[in-house]
Structure 1
Amino acid sequence: MSRTPARQRPLAIGPLRAFEAVARLSSFRAAADELNLSPSAVSRQVQALEDEIGTALLLRGSRHVELTTDGAELLRATKAAVKKLDDTVRQIRETQGRRVVTVSTFASFASLWLLPRLQDFQRQHPDIDIRVSAQDAMVDLDEGELDLALRHQRKSAPTPGAEWLFDEMLSPVASPALLAQGPALRRVADLARHTLVEDDDERRYDGSLSWRSWLAAQGQPHLQPRRWLYLSYAHQQVQTALAGQALALGRLAMCQQALLRGELVEPFGASARAESPYAYWLLLSAQGRERPEVLQFAAWIREQAQVCRGDMDSLRG
């Protein structure tokens, strides 16, 4: 069996930890106390590390130590690595014996749809912990520790294996206070006297979820509002509408609870709704399909999706 060349061999963690402690504390004795070792043992580990790398990392004085240029460079990398290692070990210890389901979704869906409902699952399954990884970048479910994903994708091109949850409808939404205090909103042309909040990057959805697309479908392709307010995320747009600062083009699945509570209203009613080319999907990872707690969470998601579809129907009525 061939051996790894010395220059490519990975370093042992023990000497790295000893070096990081000495460099951070500027003292062999303080590092020894922190690591529960003797000062001479810490010194030997740092010396072994220097011999392994082939350069001096510390300048040893009678009362303190200083980093060499190479030592300072190594410390920058070591501090981050040791912290990440310690955080991971701490997390493993804290969750040992507990069942954890890790969910990947995008930030707006987590804020507006998943998190407000999550208490129901926790009440039914108090022994299962949920970890929500919210990011807009799509991640590979079979890489890392993800169990399932809740995704927003085109109806015509979902990820293979994805399970449909519900469709998406778009409709102008505003706070009752805005409608009571602002200019009248009796027809679409009246939007010219209001502020509209728009996605900061229309290219993200090819413009299909934009006000401009909706206005064109309503026969007002050239309408310009009093002003535009551009925000990056759907949950920010809904929050702005709730605050009475602008009208949002709401995704009804994500703002339906606010509509049912009367916190938001559709000024033009159901007749102004437009069907989106996107829908919401559930996707299980290979490892998730083998774990009972993940299957329980997926079953709960399906139940919540059914409730959501029912709420959408009630809004139509």
Structure 2
Amino acid sequence: MGKVLPLLALRAFTETGRTGSIKSAAEVMGVTSGAVSQQIRLLEERTGVNLFRRTRYGVELTEEGANVYPALLRAFAQIEASLTTLEASSQRQTLTVSTLPSFAASWLVPRLGRFMAQNPEIEVRVEASSGLTNLHGGRVDIALRHGLGNYPDYEVQPLMAPALVPVISAALLASGPVIEQPSDCLAYPLLQDSDRADWRLWLTACGVEATPEAERGTAFDEDFLLLKAAEAGQGIALIRDIYAKPEIAAGRLTLAIDRPWPTQFAYYILTLPENAQKPALKLFIEWLHQEASVN
């Protein structure tokens, strides 16, 4: 028991062995793929053994890695079970939530204080991740995701379906052409989503022919970055209204034109069917619905 065990490296090895993918292991652990690769490399240097070989589908265990993998998998399962027992013996309950960084920063986190005030016995941990976390690992209790609602193997509840609205900084709007109809937005730089699809679809929905101009401009893969670019006066951004409202109320942004566009995408609550009736989880889900009803 005197040795200092490289628990993070051993966990990275175990999760990579279980999933057959460094990227998937990183999502489960809530770290980057580079961090997982580094921990595996440190473990290989310490032991002097190659633990994985690369394949066209990911990575697979070497013979040496396969020899110790089952024991380590059981060991981490026992650690998780012991932690669950300790948490259950305490009056405090822990709830781990996985959600998108933009949703966490702009909607969930600013409201969490109300839930904690109402339920001081429940400790909430928020993990921000763009990928869908595997709830079957037992570490995350609930995921909040944006999509079409097709999530096999999970209990799925719709939370909210925000509309996209065009927003711009007041300074840029005051110094540029007047916007009286949707087509007038094309006179400004357009800030794009990562697929460069939202502006084209919004203009089409507003009855404007979507020319190639609708897909020009800087692209961002997070709404939070789009908001910051719009606040900096770099152009007009199409943002979900739940993110735009506080920025407009604070005077950092203004509506370019009042033409909301409801997309097919929505936010969903994902849980495992066997966990949906846990008291802490039920309280949190009920609170989410209450908050969503008032935005």
TM-score range, shorter chain: 0.5 to 0.7
Residues 211-263 of structure 1 show CA distances to partners (whole Å, capped at 9, x for unaligned) of 12222333131152796111121111112222322211111123222234443
Distance 1:71 1:107 in 2: 33
Could you tell me which residue of structure 1 aligns to residue 292 of structure 2?
305
Of residues 96, 103, 106 in structure 2, which corresponds to 1:102?
Answer: 96
Residues 82-111 of structure 1 show CA distances to partners (whole Å, capped at 9, x for unaligned) of xxx9xx99xx69x95332110111111111
**1:184 positional shift:** 2.5
**1:276 positional shift:** 0.2
Distance 1:72 1:291 in 2: 43
**1:278 positional shift:** 0.7
**1:121 positional shift:** 1.1
**1:15 positional shift:** 7.5
Check 1:211–1:74 CA distance in 2 against 1; reply closer, same or farther (3 A cut): same
Q: Does 1:234 align with 2:223?
A: yes
Which residues of structure 1 form unaligned runs of 5+? 1-13, 21-69, 78-84, 309-317
Could you tell me which residue of structure 2 aligns to residue 212 of structure 1?
200
Contact 1:194 1:225 in 2 (8 A): no
**1:126 positional shift:** 2.5
Q: Does 1:252 align with 2:241?
A: yes
Check 1:73–1:211 CA distance in 2 against 1; reply closer, same or farther (3 A cut): same
Could you tell me which residue of structure 1 aligns to residue 121 of structure 2?
127
**1:286 positional shift:** 4.1
Contact 1:191 1:225 in 2 (8 A): no
Of residues 161, 164, 184 in structure 2, which corresponds to 1:167?
Answer: 161
TM-score by length of 1: 0.61
**1:131 positional shift:** 0.9
| Count of residues in correspondence between the two structures | 228
Of residues 74, 77, 81 in structure 1, which corresponds to 2:47?
Answer: 74
Q: Does 1:117 align with 2:111?
A: yes
Give the percent of matched residue pairs that are identical in Structure 1 and Structure 2.
29
Contact 1:195 1:226 in 2 (8 A): no
**1:162 positional shift:** 1.1
Whichever of the two has the greater Rg, that structure is 1
- SS class of match (1:162): strand
Could you tell me which residue of structure 1 aligns to residue 62 of structure 2?
none
Distance 1:172 1:135 in 2: 26
TM-score by length of 2: 0.66
C-alpha root-mean-square deviation of aligned residues, in Å? 3.5
- SS class of match (1:185): coil
Contact 2:236 2:256 in 1 (8 A): no
Could you tell me which residue of structure 2 aligns to residue 263 of structure 1?
252
Which residues of structure 2 form unaligned runs of 5+? 7-42, 51-75
* Farther-moved stretch of structure 1 (211-220 vs 143-152): 211-220
Contact 2:199 2:214 in 1 (8 A): no
- SS class of match (1:235): helix
Of residues 273, 277, 287 in structure 1, which corresponds to 2:264?
Answer: 277
Could you tell me which residue of structure 2 aligns to residue 289 of structure 1?
276
- SS class of match (2:254): coil
Distance 1:306 1:133 in 2: 23
| Paired residue type of 2:47 | L
Could you tell me which residue of structure 2 aligns to residue 51 of structure 1?
none
